[in-house]
Every structure is written in structure tokens, then in C-alpha cells.
Amino acid sequence: MVKRIIADANAHEARVALMEGRELVEIQVETRGKERLVGNIYKGRVANILPGMQAAFIDVGLDKNAFLYAGDILCDESDFIFEEGADEAPIKKKLEVPNIKELLKPNQEIMVQVLKQPGGTKGARVTTHITLPNRLLVLMPTVDHVGVSRRIEDEKKREELKELLTRLKPRSMGVIVRTLAEQATEEEIETELKFLVRLWQKVQEKADFVTAPRLVHAEETLLFRTVRDMFTPDVDEFVINDKDYYEKVLAVVNIVSPGMEKRLKLFEHEGNIFDYYEIEDKIGKALQRKVWMKNGCYLVIDETEALTVVDVNTGKYIGEDNLQDTILNANIEAAEEIARQLRLRDLSGIIVIDFIDMESEENKHKVVDALKDALKNDRTKSNVLGMTELGLVEMTRKKTRRKLSALTQTTCPCCNGSGRVYNLENMAMRVRREIIRTVAPDEQGMFIVDVSDTLADYIISRNNQNQAVLPHFENAHFFIRSTKNAHPEQIIISRVTDKNALSDTQVFC
């Protein structure tokens, strides 16, 4: 299967798509002025301390103060346990967190790094546990620890790498060995380690020189991160549509991935590069609530800020003779598609999946195992907790950046994010009630009621029947006027001061 990275870059926006064959498996978007903040290091100032929440707000110079939890403040290293987890950094477990008032003081200057992107009403979440990632290694300058990525499965190689980094690293610093280091030489690993140590020294020097709040180290741009994290030996092509960006990426590839520059190509066809590779339509489908699968089943994906619910439905899938086998096959295919959708949409937090009900415990385990296997290709750490008694699968996925829907969409002005509006029958009654509420029974005059065109048509069709939708007042008369592209729930009642305004009204009552 051909694996490609397709980059659509210009001065305003960069979009990077990862394709496996004809399938879109990952999409990242970065808009100029709204670059990703995760990984940025700031010299901040403690704005206020919240003992009841065991947290503090840190002014780092952003629109909203950053949130620092007591458990994310580096204290005595002996208080921490490190697990060898994902490539990015080890998982930190705090056994006993001191009171936040013992760790921080108001107006104290502190160096922090962004863990989670700000979103909604929340500011960025930060930590004092700094990490500096590169292609082969992640440097942890504040902790003396060596870890190896779990994706390196050869135990002998793991031990070799651990011994090598234990010998090479500075005594007071820690290192995580990333997956690509398995194929690297000792010289390449040592060169990268020295580079990261020098980078940390420059960060410290700048932090000592500037006053808070100030950015002291910015994470790399999307295209550079793509070279660093995604342009691996299993990628057949990296295609870029802009010549200037192509030359910049080529220079980076020659430094960090020598020998792979031949796989980097400039897109020389006419038109949109995403249209050429049929990516644009796939992005549109990745934002839809309902996802149809090839076998006729479909998924319904509902997203909230911290929770995502996935419902599996048989749809048009009829299977074969045995009902339980039909359900099992549908659920296994759904598990594979769900793993792809989580990666493509970059969904994170708590995820609950409602598979089609199964009677056999063995079949339930098969579906959970299929989901775990499908998630192995995901670079973002996830944890499948298993299936509950109600048949729901619970899992979590680490948040590393904003999800696709948050990057490309905004709250609907019609439904305010609910996804639903009042139906026509209910709206017609709301118009009736609003007239009664607004106009006194003995009031005289003529009134125009502005509503959406679909609601106007509905009222017109019903008002011709024996019982009118609009109320009957002795001395007041009402005219319905349709407004094209109006909010479906719009009701505006105004008194007629100029009879010429009645020319485009449709219903008189």
C-alpha cells in the first residue's frame, strides 16, 4: 500500500494529509496567526492561586491565563514514577501532591510548557515538566530518566538503546527514545542529543534574560513537525504544492533525514492539490455526523468538548444466515472504521462506543481486541478500558491538538450548537403565542410578522383551513412576510406605518 504525505501550503494556511492507498487517515490544519501552542515554552507569572482546586492560573501573555494543576508542578523527583509510554514523553504519576500554596506564590515567575491547546472557554493547560522533542529523542531536562518507546518491541534493542542513552545523556537530564531511533546509528543519536542539550541551554539563557510573561521557545511549524514526526522510512512520497515551502522542507529533510530527499516532490499539476488526490471530499465526509461503511452499516458520531459518543448501526447490512455472526462481523468492521475516524477527526478525551448488542462474551472480546489492534497504527496514545455490562466500550485518547471539527467549523448561528431547531408545527404555535403576548386584544392597527420563508409557507397553507393559525383580534390585522435565509426560529412583529410595506406580505388575518 502506497503511503503519501500531501501538503497544501500557502502564506495563510498549511494543510497536511496522510494517505494510505486511497484512504485519508490523518489531516492537520494550521492557520497563520492561529498556530498550535502545544510544546511552546513560556516564562509566566502566577496570576492567582486556587487552593480549593489545587491549581493556579499563570499569565503567559495569551488571551486567557493558562491553567497549572499542582500535579503538573515538578517537585522532588523521588515523588514521581515514570512509565515507558508513548513517543512524546513518559507518563507521570504523582504519589502525593503537596498543597498548591506550598509550591507557588502570587506574582512568582515560572517557566511552563503548554500541554493542551486552549479551547472554548478554557485557557491552555501547562506543566513545569519541560520536554524538547526531536526526530529520534525527546529531551527531559528537568528529570533524570531514560525511557524507550513501546513501539520498539525488540527487547534486546530496547536494552541497547537504554544503556546507550544512560551513558550519553547529561547526568541531571532525562531522555525518551523515539521509535525511529531503532534504525539510527549511535553517531546519529549522539548528534541529536547534543543538539537538544544546546537547545535547552539557549531556552534557559533567554528565560533568564526576559521578563514574564514572554514566549521563550516556540514549537516548530506544521511542515517542520511533519518532517520530524511523520516523514518516516515507510512513507513513499511527500508532495508539496508550493515551491518556496518545498525548498524549505527539502533543506530540513537533508539535515534530519538524509537519503529521503528523493521522496520529496513538488506538485507540478494545475489546480488544487487536494482535489487532485481526492482529499477535499474526504475532509467533508470526515466532518459529517453519519459515516457510512462499505458493508452498509453506519456510525453516528456525536462530539462534545470532553466526550465523544459513537453509535454503531446495521443500516443496510443484512449479513448471512447466522444472526450472531452477522452482528460480530458488523461490529468488527465498525471497530476498524472507528479507529480510523478517531485518528482522522483527531478526537480525544473520553470516548464511548455503543456497538450492536452481542450475546456471546467471546464475541465481545473479539470486538474489543479488533478495536485495540486497529488503534495500533495511531501515533496518539489511547487506552481501551473494555466493555461494560451495558455493552458499551469505554476508551480514552490523549489530546495533543484541537480536533478537526474545531479547526474547520464554528457553532451554527441557527441552532447555537444544539444541532436542532423547532419544527414548523411548533414554530407556527410560537408565532401565535408571540402575537398574543405582544399585541393587546383591544389594540388597533396593522402588524407585519416576519418569519422564515418555510415557516411562512407552512402558516399560509394552514391558515386557509377552517381554523386559522393566527389569532383573531377585533381591531388588529396581521400580515405574514417571508424573509429569505432568515433564522428558522425568527419571529419579528412590527406595526405598519406605511401601507406600501404590505406589498410583499402574503397572509392577512
Per-10-residue mean pLDDT for the chain, 509 residues long? Answer: 91 91 90 82 94 92 91 65 46 62 91 86 89 92 90 90 92 91 90 93 93 91 89 92 91 86 91 91 88 90 88 81 84 93 91 91 92 90 89 88 80 78 90 90 87 89 72 85 86 82 62
Sequence-distant (≥ 6) Cβ neighbours of residue 41 within 8 angstroms:
111, 112, 113, 130, 203, 207, 215, 216, 217
Q: How far apart are CA 220 and CA 233, in angstroms?
A: 21
Q: Show me where the domains of the chain are located.
A: 3-34+223-280, 41-218, 288-408, 424-508
pLDDT attached to residue 316: 82
CATH superfamily of the 41-218 domain: Nucleic acid-binding proteins (2.40.50.140)
208: cell is 533568564
pLDDT attached to residue 371: 95
User: Per CATH, the architecture of 288-408 is what?
Assistant: 2-Layer Sandwich (3.30)
Integer angstrom CA distances of residue 252 from 14, 202, 248, 293 = 17, 20, 7, 39
pLDDT attached to residue 294: 86
CATH number attached to the domain at 3-34+223-280: 3.30.420.60
Overall residue count recorded for the chain in this entry: 509
Give me the phi and psi of 344, to 5 degrees please: -65, -45
Give me the phi and psi of 331, to 5 degrees please: -70, -35
Give the residue ranges of DSSP H helices in 210-241.
222-229
pLDDT attached to residue 395: 94
pLDDT attached to residue 112: 95
Examine domains 3-34+223-280 and 288-408 and report if their fold is the same.
Answer: no
What pTM value is reported for the model? 0.77
pLDDT attached to residue 131: 93
Is the alpha carbon torsion for 16, 19, 22, 24 positive or negative? negative
